[in-house]
Amino acid sequence: MDVKFSFDDKFFAITYGHGCQIWRTPSAIREFSPLTLVKTIVGHYDDVNCLGWSRDSQSVIIGSRDLTARVFYRAVHNNTALSILAGHRDEIIGVYFGKGDDEIYTVALDGGIFTWKFERTAVAMESSSDEDNELSDDESTSSDNEFISSTYSHRNNRTVQSSSLLQRHGGKWSLAERQLLRDHHGEISCTSFNSDSSILVLGFSDGVFGLYEMPGCVNIHRISVGNNALSAVTLNPTGEWLAVGSSILGQLLIWEWKSESYILKQQGHLYGLNVLDFSSEGQFVVTGGEDGKVKLWNTLSGFCIITFKDHLAPVTGVKFIGQGQGRAVITSSLDGTVRAYDLLRYKNFRTLTAPNSVQFTALAADHMGEVVCAGSMDPFSIFVWSLQTGKLLEVLAGHEGPISCLEFHTPTSMLASGSWDGTLKLWNVFGNQCVETFEHGCDVLSVAFRADGKEVACTTTSGNINIWDVENGEQLATIEGRRDLFGGRTNTDRISNENALKTKFFTSIAYSSDGSCILAGGKSKYVCIYSVSTAVLVKKFQLSHNRLVYQFSYQILVKTFSV
C-alpha cells in the first residue's frame, strides 16, 4: 500500500490491489463531493507495492510484486504503460524519479537498486549524442535477457499538450546502472527518497538503516537502532532529519544524520498496557505493560519521560505515592517483586519480595507510601510491607482464590481485596483482621473506594457493578452493565450474538473524585460512565474505530482450500 501527493499538490495517487488510482486533491474551500477520480491504472499482474511521482507531476511510476515497475502518464486517457521496467529478481518496494525526471531508481526487496535513464529515440531527437545510445545498447545486451524495456507510442495524441510529454513519447527508459547491496543485513523493509538532495534511505529488517547518495548508490551513513525490523523511514524535505519507525517495538526515532544525534526518541509498550495510575496533581501518568516495562508519561505533551525496565515479567500494578520531592512509583509484577522508584534520581530504591516465590497480581498502597500491599496468585495471600524499612509486616490469609484486585483507603486504613473465589473482603491492615466479607456468586475482578471511604464498588464476571456500604455491610445498588458493553464481534467468534453477550463484563472500575460517577471498562470497545445514585448509564465512549482489515489475495486463498 502506498499513497503519495504529486509535487504540485494538485493530485494524489493511491494503490489498491493490482492497480492504482489518481484523484484530484480537494481544495480548502468546502464543496459538494470534493474528491474526483482522474484516472485508474491497471496492468500489473500482482499487488502494487509502491508508487512515485515525477517532479513535473505528469507521470507516475508504479512498482509491484510481479517484479516490474511501470511508468504511466497522468494526462493520457488510455491505460497503457509507457515503459515496463523489468529486471529485478524480487518484488519492488520503492520507485522514485530522480531530480531532473530523467532518471528512475527502483529498489527491490533483495537489495537490488537499479538506475534507469531516459533516452530519446532518433526520431524525436534533434541534437542528442549518439554515443549515449550506443553505450546503453551495449549495456542492455550485456545485462542478460531479464532486462526488457519496451516502449509504446501513443497514436492518438488528442490529449497531449505538454512538450515534456511529447518528448517522452519519443524515447524509452533503459537500464543504466545495477547495484546489489551485498553487505547489507537482512532484507530491505522500507525505503524513502529525497529528490532535492538525491538521498535514498533504506531500512533493513534487522534494525539497520542506511543513507545512499544517488546515482551511484554511495553509502554515506549507516547505523543500527535495534534488532527489530524497521517499518517506515522518511527524510524531511531539507534532508537533515531522518524519522525511523518500528511497528514491532512501537518506536519512533528522529535522527539528525549529519551531527549523529537523536532529536526525538519515543517508544511505547511492546504488547500493550496492563495498568495505569495518575500522579496526585494529574500531570503525569505511570503505566505498566506486558513487556515488564514501567513508563512515566506527561499528560499534556504525551511524551514518555522515563522508562524503568527492571521487571522480568508483566507488570500487574502501578501506584504513585508521596507528594512534591518525595514522590515515588511502586510497581508489582508477576516476577515476584514489588519495586519502588523515586522520581528525583529515577532509581529503584527498594525491592520487596515475599518469603517464597509468588506471582503478584494486584497492588495497593497508601498515599504516603507507608504500607504497601500486594496480592498473590498462589498462595492466595496478601502481603503487607513497610516501605520505610522494607520489612514484611503481615501476611493476610483468608481468600480461597487468587487475588484479582486490591484497593487501599488511606484515611480509614481500610484495605479492600477482591478474589476469584467470589468474595470482596475488607481488612484492617494494622490489626491483621478481616472486617467484612461480601459474597458474590462469581469472580470479583476490580474494586474501587469512594473518596470518603463509605462506599466500595466492585465488578464481577456476571457483568454487574455492585456497590456496598462499608459501615453497615449492605448492598446499596447493582448496575447491570452487560447491555452497555454489548457490541463488537471478533472474526473468529464461534458463538451467537446472544451468547456473546454473556461473556461481557467489566475488568476495571474507578470512582470520580466527587463520588457521583463510576467509570468502568472491560473486554469491549466501550467504556461507560454511570451515575451512582440513579444507577443509570450517563455516557459511553467508543475506544477505537480501527478495523485494520487486511486485504487478501483471492487466488492464494483458493490455493489454500484446494490443498
Partner 1 sequence: MEGILDKLRSDRLVDGISLDNIPSDNDIQINNGKNHKLPGNASSRLENGDRNIRPSVMCLALQFSPTGHEFAVATTQGLQIFCLDDELLFIPVDLAVEVTPQTIELEISRRNFTKALLMSTQLGDKETLRSSIEAIKLENIELVVSSIGDVKVIKILLQFIAEELVSLYYFN
Judged by CB under 8 A, the chain residues 393 through 422 that form the site for partner 1 are none
Pick the stretch among 10-18, 357-365, 412-420, 510-518 that binds partner 1 (CB under 8 A).
510-518
| In the block, residue with C-alpha cell 499487488 | 47
In this chain, which of 523, 533, 534, 538 binds partner 1, going by CB under 8 A? 523
Among candidates 295, 352, 316, 55, which has minimal Cα distance to 196? 55
Beta carbon nearer to partner 1, 389 or 544: 544
In this chain, which of 489, 498, 536, 562 binds partner 1, going by CB under 8 A? 489
Q: Which residues contact 69 (CB under 8 A, 6 or more apart)?
A: 61, 62, 63, 84, 85, 88, 92, 95, 104, 106
Q: Taking CB under 8 A as the criterion, which residues in 531-560 touch partner 1?
A: 541, 543-548, 550-553, 556-557, 560
Cell of 47: 499487488
CB of 17 to partner 1, least distance (A): 12
CB of 543 to partner 1, least distance (A): 5
Beta carbon nearer to partner 1, 90 or 177: 90
| In the block, residue with C-alpha cell 474528491 | 35
**Cα–Cα separations (whole angstroms), residue 352 to 163, 319, 333, 346, 372:** 77, 14, 11, 17, 9
**Cα–Cα separations (whole angstroms), residue 427 to 153, 258, 396, 397, 452:** 86, 61, 9, 11, 17
Pick the stretch among 80-88, 155-163, 453-461, 502-510 that binds partner 1 (CB under 8 A).
502-510
Residue 507 interacts with partner 1 (CB under 8 A)?
A: yes
CB of 279 to partner 1, least distance (A): 8
Give the three-state DSSP class for 447.
strand
In this chain, which of 114, 116, 147, 297 binds partner 1, going by CB under 8 A? 297
Helix (H) / strand (E) containing 213: strand 208-213
497-516 CB burial, b ≥16 within 10 A, e <16: eeebeeebbbebbbbeeebe
In this chain, which of 164, 472, 512, 534 binds partner 1, going by CB under 8 A? 512
Residue 94 interacts with partner 1 (CB under 8 A)?
A: no
Among candidates 181, 200, 183, which has minimal Cα distance to 110? 181
Binding characters for partner 1, 329-358, by CB under 8 A (x = yes): -----x------------------------
Q: Taking CB under 8 A as the criterion, which residues in 169-228 touch partner 1?
A: 187, 189, 205
* Residues 245, 260: Cα–Cα separation, whole Å: 17
Beta carbon nearer to partner 1, 126 or 514: 514
Give the three-state DSSP class for 554.
helix
Beta carbon nearer to partner 1, 391 or 545: 545
Beta carbon nearer to partner 1, 153 or 553: 553
In this chain, which of 110, 525, 535, 537 binds partner 1, going by CB under 8 A? 525
* Residues 423, 414: Cα–Cα separation, whole Å: 16
Binding characters for partner 1, 110-149, by CB under 8 A (x = yes): ----------------------------------------
Size of interface with partner 1, in residues (CB under 8 A): 71
Give the three-state DSSP class for 131.
helix
Among candidates 387, 362, 527, 539, which has minimal Cα distance to 448? 362
Beta carbon nearer to partner 1, 254 or 510: 510
CB of 269 to partner 1, least distance (A): 8
In this chain, which of 124, 264, 312, 397 binds partner 1, going by CB under 8 A? 312
In this chain, which of 94, 369, 402, 521 binds partner 1, going by CB under 8 A? 521
Cα 411 from chain centroid?
Answer: 41
In this chain, which of 527, 530, 532, 540 binds partner 1, going by CB under 8 A? 527
Answer left, alpha or beta for residue 372, where phi above 0 means left and psi between -120 and 50 means alpha. beta
Among candidates 344, 391, 347, which has minimal Cα distance to 371? 391
CB of 95 to partner 1, least distance (A): 18
Instruction: List the beta strands (DSSP E) in 58-130.
Output: 59-64, 68-73, 83-86, 92-97, 103-108, 112-120
Beta carbon nearer to partner 1, 99 or 525: 525
The radius of gyration of the chain's CA atoms, rounded to the nearest angstrom, is 32
Q: DSSP character for 20?
A: E
Pick the stretch among 94-102, 437-445, 474-482, 491-499 that binds partner 1 (CB under 8 A).
491-499
CB of 308 to partner 1, least distance (A): 13
Q: Taking CB under 8 A as the criterion, which residues in 460-479 touch partner 1?
A: none
Beta carbon nearer to partner 1, 302 or 441: 302
* Residues 365, 270: Cα–Cα separation, whole Å: 27
In this chain, which of 309, 347, 483, 502 binds partner 1, going by CB under 8 A? 309
Q: Which residues contact 401 (CB under 8 A, 6 or more apart)?
A: 380, 419, 420, 421, 422, 443
* Residues 11, 38: Cα–Cα separation, whole Å: 9
CB of 398 to partner 1, least distance (A): 26
In this chain, which of 103, 522, 532, 540 binds partner 1, going by CB under 8 A? 522
CB of 401 to partner 1, least distance (A): 21
In this chain, which of 493, 499, 534, 538 binds partner 1, going by CB under 8 A? 493
Cell of 302: 504525551
Pick the stretch among 158-166, 394-402, 423-431, 505-513 that binds partner 1 (CB under 8 A).
505-513
* Residues 68, 47: Cα–Cα separation, whole Å: 11
Q: Taking CB under 8 A as the criterion, which residues in 236-295 touch partner 1?
A: 268-282, 285, 287, 290-293
CB of 510 to partner 1, least distance (A): 5
Beta carbon nearer to partner 1, 41 or 286: 286
* Residues 311, 363: Cα–Cα separation, whole Å: 15
